Amino acid sequence: MTDPLIVGAMVRTLGAYPSGWRHPGAHADPRADAAILARIARLAEDADLDYLFFGDWLATGADLEFRDPYLLARIDPVSAVLYLAGLTRRIGLIATVNTTYADPYAIARASASLDVLTGGRGGINLVTGAEPRAAGNHGRDAHADNDTRYDRADEFVAVLRRLWESWDDAAWIADTEAGVLIDPHLLRPAAFEGAQLLVEGPLNVARPPQGHLPIVHAGTSSRSRALAAEHADLALIAGPDATAAKLARTQLRAAALVAGRDPDRLKVIATVLPVVAETDGAAHAIVERLLRLVPLDDGSGNGQRASFPPGRSLREFLTLAGVPEDHPARDRNVDDVVDAAASDLFAEPAARTLQIVQERTGRTVGGAEPVTWRHLVAAHAVPAAFLVGGPAAIADHFELWRDEGAADGFNVLSAFQPQQFEAFTRLAVPELRRRGLLGRDGATLRERLGIGAPRLLHPPVRAGAGGVRA
* pLDDT above 60: residue 467: no
H-run or E-run covering 10: strand 6-10
Band of pLDDT at residue 271, cut at 50, 70 and 90: very high
Question: What's the confidence (pLDDT) of residue 7?
Answer: 98
Band of pLDDT at residue 346, cut at 50, 70 and 90: confident
pTM, 2 dp: 0.94
Counting residues of the chain whose pLDDT is more than 90, the rounded percentage is 79
Q: Which stretches does DSSP call E strand in 37-171?
A: 51-54, 92-98, 122-127
Question: What's the confidence (pLDDT) of residue 333?
Answer: 73
Rounded distance, CA 305 to CA 245, Å?
A: 38
Question: What's the confidence (pLDDT) of residue 464?
Answer: 53
* pLDDT above 90: residue 272: yes
- Reported as a single tens digit per residue, the pLDDT across 349-406 is 888 898 999 999 999 887 888 888 899 999 999 999 999 999 999 999 999 999 999 9
Question: What's the confidence (pLDDT) of residue 13?
Answer: 98
Average pLDDT over residues 428-455: 97
Band of pLDDT at residue 337, cut at 50, 70 and 90: low
Question: What's the confidence (pLDDT) of residue 253?
Answer: 97
Band of pLDDT at residue 429, cut at 50, 70 and 90: very high
Helices (H), ranges, 362-461: 373-381, 391-403, 419-423, 429-434, 445-449
- Reported as a single tens digit per residue, the pLDDT across 37-76 is 999 999 999 999 999 999 999 999 999 999 999 999 999 9
Band of pLDDT at residue 345, cut at 50, 70 and 90: low
Band of pLDDT at residue 340, cut at 50, 70 and 90: very low
Question: What's the confidence (pLDDT) of residue 335?
Answer: 66
* pLDDT above 80: residue 131: yes
Band of pLDDT at residue 470, cut at 50, 70 and 90: very low
> Smallest Cα–Cα separation from 215: which of 87, 115, 148?
115
Burial code (b: 16+ CB inside 10 Å, e: under 16) for 314-341 equals eebbbebbebeeeeebeeeebbebeeee
Question: What's the confidence (pLDDT) of residue 344?
Answer: 62
Question: What's the confidence (pLDDT) of residue 347?
Answer: 78
